[in-house]
C-alpha cells in the first residue's frame, strides 16, 4: 500500500481545503482509511475535496465508483466489516436518498445486530445546503432524516478548523458518521489550520461567542449569518451567546442547557425546513429540562416547510441576518 | 449489421430425479467422504428445519423461514467455501450457515428474537442474515473489495433469491464485481417463488443467469437439487475467485417446498399438483438414492444418521430454551462502541423500569 509522509505545516485554507487536508492526514496516518465515490479519484471530486488523494495514495485506496449511490453506501459497509475505514462521498446530499436503505438498515445497525461482532467504522460525506445557485436537488438540508436514526452520528462543520478536526474525529470514530459539509461556506472564509492530526471532540457543542442575554443555537452555514446577527445585536446592546451544535446527533444537551440557564432565552437557527427539524429536538430538550430558566418562549428561525425553491428565490428561503435579529428582538422584548 | 456480442448460458445436471447418473459424473463424485458429509448436512438441516417450524407452531420461536428445498445448494456453498472466505447470506441459508459454523442454537436464538443469534462465534467475519432483500449484495462486493485492496487470496459468496434479482442492489453489485474484477460468487437460489410472486413475473429474461452477461460476468445455471452439479459449479467459481479471475453468477434452480415463512400460507397461490411435482425432484432423496446405488449407504446408516441429527437438534433446542433473555439495557449497549453520554439517561431509565427482573 502507498502511504504518504506526514507534515505538520500550517496553511490558510478554506473549509473544503480543510476537508482535503484532513483526508490526506487520515490516509497517511492509517492505511485502513480508503476513499470512494463518484468522480473523486482522477477528477478530485466535483468540489475538489478529494484532490490529490489518488496521486498520494494510489487507486487501490482512492476509488472512482460506478454511478450508483446505493452501491456506494453498501460497498462501504462491506469494506467496513473487514476493518477498513471507508470515507464515501455522495456528490450532493440530494442524491444520498438512493443509499438510505443501506445507511439506515445496515450501517446504523451492524454493531447492534451482531452484538459487536462486526461494526461500521465509516464516514458518509455529502455537501449540503443551499445558497450556491445550484440546480434542482442540489440544495437540500435534510440532516434531520439522519439525526432521527439510532446508531448514526450526524456531524456538520462550520469553519475550516472544525472541518479539519471534526472530519479526523469522524474517520477515527469506530461507528458510522454522516458528515455534512455546508457547501455555501466551502470557500467563504479562510482560516489558519495546522495539519497536526489533532481531532476535535464529537458530541460536543462549540461556544463561538459568549453572551448573557440570549443563546443563539445553530450549525452549518447558518453559523455565518448568526455571528453577523450577533455583531449587529451587540451594537444595540444585546449580548448574544452563539453555539455551534456541530454534532446534531448525538446532541450535547448539557452545553445548551447551561447556556440557556444563564441567558434565559434561546433562538434556534437552521436552514432546513421547520417541521420535524433538529431545531424541534433542541427546543423540546430545552423545554423539558430548562423550562423554569426561560424568560421567553424558544423561537426558531428556519427554512420554510416547502420544497427548496430554485435559485432565483433561494435567498427568500434561507434564514437571513435580519430574520435572526428580528427573532432576537422579539424574545428580548418579553 | 455487425454482431458485436453474443452470449450463451449453460445449464448443468448430472443426476435424474431418481439419482441415476445422466452422464459421467464430475470428479467431486469421487470424494466419498465429502459427499457423505454433504448428505449428513442436508439431513441435519432438514431435521432442524422441521423442528424450528414445530417450535414456532407451539409458541417457542418467532416467525421462521423454512429452508425446505434449499438444502442441497446451501450444503454445496458451505462445502465449497474456504474457512477464510466470507459468506454473505440471505435469510434462507441455514444449510450453508451450519457448515460455516453457525450453531443450531444461534440460528434458533436469531429467529427466537435474540440479537445474540448473529454474534457467531465460529465464523466471525461472515455477515449477518440480511432481511432487506438484495441489500447484502452491496456488502458482498464491499467485502470483496477489501480483500482485493489488501491483496488477499480470499473470496466472498453472496446468496440471493430469484425475487431479489429484480432489485437494483443485485444489478449494481454484479456490475461493480465486473468492473472491479472482484473475488465474489453470487449464488441466485431460484426457488420459483418470492412469497406469492412466481419467477415468471420477476423478469422477462428467460434465465436469471443471463443477467450476469450485462455485468461482464459468466452466468451458469445448475440444477440446485443436484449435489454434483452444484458443488462442481461452486468449486469452479470459487477457484476462479481465489485465482484472481473475477466474479461468477450461478443460478441454482430449485423449489421452495415450504411456505415463505411460518406466517405464510402457500396454498393461497400455488397448487398441490405443482408442489407434488417439486417433491419428486427433491435433492436429498436423489443423493440418498445415488449413495445407495453406489454402495456407500444402507438403511442402517440412514437410521443412525437420522437419530444423530435428531439428537443434535434436540440438544440445541434445549440450550436455546434454557438461554435467558439479555437484560433490556442491552438494547443500548451495542449501538455504539461506547455508550454516548447523551444516551446514558435513557439507559438508566430502562434499568430502573426493569429492576428486579425482565419484563
Closest Cα in chain B, distance from residue A22 (Å): 22
Cβ pair A252:B340 closer than 8 A? no
Same domain, B237 and B345: no
Cβ pair A78:B176 closer than 8 A? no
Query: Which CATH number do you get for residue B186?
Result: 3.40.50.970
Fold match between domain A10-194 and domain A206-333: yes
- The CA radius of gyration of chain A, in Å to the nearest whole number, is 20
Same domain, B353 and B273: no
A1: pLDDT strictly greater than 60: no
Give the pLDDT mean for B278-305.
98
Per the model's pLDDT, the better-predicted residue between B42 and A4 turns out to be B42
B357: pLDDT strictly greater than 90: no
CB nearest to B342's CB, from A60, A111, A203? A203
Give the Cα separation of B318 and B315 in Å (integer): 5
First to last CA, chain A: 63
Give the pLDDT mean for B194-222.
97
Looking at the domain assignment, is residue B4 inside a domain?
no
Give the Cα separation of B64 and B323 in Å (integer): 19
pLDDT band at A6 (very low <50, low <70, confident <90, very high): low
Cβ pair A81:B140 closer than 8 A? no
Give the pLDDT mean for A15-36.
98
Same domain, B101 and B24: yes
- The CA radius of gyration of chain B, in Å to the nearest whole number, is 21
pLDDT tens digits for A247-305?
A: 999 999 999 999 999 999 999 999 999 999 999 999 999 999 999 999 999 999 999 99
Q: What is the mean pLDDT of chain A?
A: 96
> Which chain B positions have a beta carbon within 8 Å of A114's beta carbon?
115, 118-120, 128
Distances in Å between the Cα of A218 and the Cα atoms of A169, A208, A229 are 20, 11, 12
Phi, psi of A286 (to 5 degrees): -65, -45
Give the Cα separation of A57 and A255 in Å (integer): 39
Task: Give residue A5's pLDDT.
Answer: 56
**Taking CA B190 as the corner, what is the angle to CA B184 and CA B191, rounded to the nearest 5 degrees?**
140
Closest CA to A149 of A115, A114, A112: A112
Same domain, B311 and B353: no
pTM: 0.97
Name residue A268's beta-bridge partners.
A217, A300
B50 interfacial to chain A (CB closer than 8 Å): no
Strands A177-182 and A153-155: parallel
> Which chain A positions have a beta carbon within 8 Å of B143's beta carbon?
78-79, 81-82
pLDDT band at B158 (very low <50, low <70, confident <90, very high): very high
pLDDT band at B359 (very low <50, low <70, confident <90, very high): very low
Same domain, B347 and B246: no
Looking at the domain assignment, is residue B50 inside a domain?
yes
Classify domain A206-333 at the CATH class level: alpha beta
E-strand ranges in chain A read: 10-13, 33-37, 62-64, 85-89, 123-128, 153-155, 177-182, 191-194, 206-209, 214-218, 240-244, 247-249, 266-273, 299-303
Distances in Å between the Cα of A278 and the Cα atoms of A100, A218, A318 are 18, 10, 16
pLDDT band at B230 (very low <50, low <70, confident <90, very high): very high
Out of A88-92, A322-326, B5-9, B41-45, least confident range: B5-9
Give the Cα separation of A9 and B214 in Å (integer): 49
Same domain, B102 and B214: yes
- The stretches of chain B forming alpha helices (DSSP H) are 32-57, 71-80, 94-100, 104-111, 135-149, 168-180, 199-202, 211-214, 227-242, 272-279, 283-293, 299-322, 330-333, 344-353
Which residue range is the domain that position B301 belongs to? 10-323
Looking at the domain assignment, is residue B3 inside a domain?
no
Domain ranges of chain A: 10-194, 206-333
> Which chain B positions have a beta carbon within 8 Å of A116's beta carbon?
119, 334
Cβ pair B142:A250 closer than 8 A? no
Percentage above 90 pLDDT, chain B:
97
A3: pLDDT strictly greater than 60: no
Active site includes A138?
Answer: yes
CB nearest to A102's CB, from B138, B140, B145? B138
Looking at the domain assignment, is residue B168 inside a domain?
yes
pLDDT tens digits for A142-170?
A: 999 999 999 999 999 999 999 999 999 99
Choosing among 3.90.245.10, 4.10.490.10, 3.30.565.60, 3.40.50.970, the CATH entry for A10-194 is 3.40.50.970
Output the nine-digit C-alpha cell for B16: 435424474
Closest Cα in chain A, distance from residue B95 (Å): 20
Task: Give residue B354's pLDDT.
Answer: 83
A16: pLDDT strictly greater than 50: yes
Same domain, B25 and B121: yes
pLDDT band at B63 (very low <50, low <70, confident <90, very high): very high
- ipTM, 2 dp: 0.96
- Contact between B134 and B211 (Cβ < 8 Å): no
Q: Most B CBs within 10 Å: which of A117, A253, A257, as the mutation test of the B interface?
A: A117
**Taking CA B208 as the corner, what is the angle to CA B206 and CA B210, rounded to the nearest 5 degrees?**
80
> Which chain A positions have a beta carbon within 8 Å of B149's beta carbon?
1, 34, 60-61, 79, 84
The answer, yes or no, to whether the previous bond of B349 is cis (omega within 30 of 0) is: no
pLDDT tens digits for A46-62?
A: 999 999 999 999 999 99
pLDDT tens digits for B89-128?
A: 999 999 999 999 999 999 999 999 999 999 999 999 999 9
Within chain B, how many helices (H) and strands (E) appear?
A: 14, 8
Task: Give residue B358's pLDDT.
Answer: 47
A208: pLDDT strictly greater than 80: yes
Q: What is the mean pLDDT of chain B?
A: 97
Output the nine-digit C-alpha cell for B190: 431460484
Looking at the domain assignment, is residue B1 inside a domain?
no
Number of domains in chain B: 2
- Contact between B128 and A115 (Cβ < 8 Å): no
pLDDT tens digits for B74-90?
A: 999 999 999 999 999 99
Residue B204: which residues within 8 A CB-CB, separation 6 or more?
A: none
Closest Cα in chain A, distance from residue B151 (Å): 10
Give the Cα separation of B10 and B13 in Å (integer): 10
Output the nine-digit C-alpha cell for B158: 453472496
Task: Give residue A334's pLDDT.
Answer: 82
Task: Give residue B110's pLDDT.
Answer: 98
Give the pLDDT mean for B9-16.
97
A4: pLDDT strictly greater than 60: no
Same domain, B283 and B346: no
Cβ pair B142:A66 closer than 8 A? no
Amino acid at each position: 500500500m502507498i502511504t504518504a509522509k506526514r507534515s505538520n505545516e500550517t496553511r490558510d485554507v478554506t473549509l473544503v481545503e480543510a476537508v482535503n487536508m484532513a483526508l490526506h492526514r487520515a490516509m497517511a496516518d492509517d492505511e485502513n482509511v480508503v476513499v470512494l465515490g463518484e468522480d473523486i479519484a482522477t477528477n478530485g471530486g466535483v468540489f475538489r475535496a478529494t484532490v490529490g488523494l489518488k496521486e498520494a495514495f494510489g487507486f487501490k485506496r482512492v476509488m472512482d465508483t460506478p454511478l450508483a449511490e446505493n452501491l456506494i453506501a453498501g460497498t462501504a459497509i462491506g469494506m467496513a466489516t473487514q476493518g477498513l475505514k471507508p470515507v464515501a462521498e455522495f456528490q450532493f446530499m440530494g442524491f444520498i436518498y438512493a443509499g438510505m436503505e443501506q445507511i439506515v438498515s445496515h450501517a446504523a445497525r451492524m454493531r447492534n445486530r451482531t452484538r459487536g461482532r462486526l461494526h461500521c467504522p465509516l464516514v458518509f460525506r455529502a455537501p449540503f445546503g443551499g445558497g450556491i445557485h445550484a440546480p434542482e436537488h442540489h440544495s437540500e438540508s435534510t440532516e434531520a432524516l439522519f439525526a432521527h436514526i439510532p446508531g448514526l452520528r450526524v456531524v456538520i462543520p462550520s469553519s475550516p478548523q472544525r472541518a479539519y478536526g471534526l472530519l479526523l474525529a469522524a474517520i477515527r470514530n469506530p461507528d458510522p458518521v454522516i458528515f455534512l459539509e455546508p457547501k455555501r461556506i466551502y470557500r467563504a472564509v479562510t482560516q489558519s489550520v495546522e495539519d497536526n492530526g489533532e481531532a476535535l471532540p464529537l458530541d460536543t457543542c462549540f461556544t463561538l461567542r459568549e453572551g448573557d442575554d440570549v443563546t443563539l443555537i445553530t450549525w452549518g452555514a447558518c453559523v455565518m449569518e448568526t455571528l453577523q446577527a450577533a455583531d449587529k445585536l451587540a451594537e444595540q446592546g444585546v449580548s448574544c451567546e452563539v453555539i455551534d451544535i456541530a454534532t446534531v446527533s448525538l446532541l450535547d444537551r448539557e452545553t445548551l442547557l447551561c447556556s440557556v440557564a444563564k441567558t434565559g432565552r434561546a433562538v434556534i437557527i437552521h436552514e432546513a425546513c421547520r417541521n420535524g427539524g433538529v431545531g424541534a429536538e433542541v427546543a423540546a430538550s430545552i423545554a423539558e429540562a430548562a423550562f423554569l430558566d426561560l424568560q421567553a418562549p424558544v423561537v426558531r428561525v428556519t427554512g420554510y416547510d416547502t420544497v427548496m425553491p430554485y435559485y432565483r428565490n433561494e435567498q427568500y428561503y434561507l434564514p437571513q441576518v435580519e430574520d435572526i435579529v428580528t427573532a432576537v428582538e422579539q424574545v428580548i422584548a418579553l | 449489421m455487425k454482431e458485436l456480442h453474443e452470449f450463451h448460458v449453460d445449464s448443468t445436471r448430472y443426476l435424474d430425479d431418481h439419482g441415476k447418473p445422466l452422464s459421467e459424473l464430475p470428479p467431486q463424485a469421487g470424494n466419498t467422504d465429502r459427499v457423505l458429509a454433504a448428505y449428513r448436512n442436508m439431513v441435519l438441516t432438514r431435521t432442524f428445519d422441521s423442528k424450528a417450524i414445530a417450535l414456532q407452531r407451539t409458541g417457542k420461536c418467532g416467525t421462521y423461514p423454512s429452508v425446505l428445498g434449499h438444502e442441497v445448494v446451501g450444503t454445496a456453498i458451505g462445502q465449497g467455501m474456504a474457512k477464510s472466505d466470507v459468506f454473505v447470506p440471505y435469510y434462507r441459508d441455514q444449510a450453508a450457515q451450519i457448515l460455516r459454523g453457525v450453531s443450531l442454537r444461534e440460528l434458533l436464538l436469531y429467529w427466537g428474537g435474540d440479537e445474540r443469534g448473529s454474534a457467531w462465534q465460529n465464523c466471525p467475519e461472515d455477515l449477518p442474515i440480511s432481511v432487506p432483500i438484495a441489500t447484502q449484495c452491496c456488502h458482498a462486493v464491499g467485502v470483496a473489495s477489501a480483500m482485493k485492496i489488501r491483496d488477499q487470496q480470499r473470496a466472498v459468496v453472496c446468496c440471493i433469491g430469484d425475487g431479489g434479482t429484480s432489485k437494483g442492489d443485485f444489478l449494481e453489485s454484479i456490475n461493480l464485481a465486473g468492473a472491479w474484477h472482484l473475488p465474489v460468487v453470487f449464488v441466485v437460489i431460484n426457488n420459483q417463488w418470492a412469497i406469492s410472486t412466481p419467477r415468471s413475473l420477476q423478469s422477462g429474461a428467460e434465465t436469471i443467469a443471463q443477467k450476469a452477461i450485462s455485468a461482464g460476468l459468466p452466468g451458469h445455471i445448475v440444477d440446485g437439487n443436484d449435489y454434483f452439479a452444484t458443488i462442481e459449479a461452486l468449486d469452479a467459481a470459487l477457484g476462479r475467485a481465489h485465482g484472481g479471475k473475477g466474479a461468477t453468477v450461478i443460478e441454482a434452480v430449485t423449489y421452495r417446498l415450504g411456505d415463505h415463512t411460518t406466517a405464510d400460507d402457500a396454498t393461497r397461490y400455488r397448487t398441490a399438483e405443482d408442489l407434488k411435482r417439486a417433491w419428486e425432484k427433491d435433492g436429498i432423496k436423489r443423493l440418498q438414492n445415488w449413495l445407495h446405488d453406489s454402495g456407500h449407504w444402507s438403511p442402517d446408516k440412514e437410521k443412525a444418521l437420522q437419530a444423530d441429527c435428531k439428537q443434535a437438534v434436540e440438544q440445541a433446542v434445549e440450550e436455546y430454551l434454557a438461554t435467558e433473555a439479555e437484560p433490556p439495557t442491552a438494547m443500548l449497549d451495542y449501538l455504539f462502541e461506547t455508550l454516548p453520554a447523551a444516551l446514558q439517561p435513557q439507559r438508566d431509565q430502562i434499568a430502573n423500569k426493569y429492576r428486579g427482573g425482565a419484563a
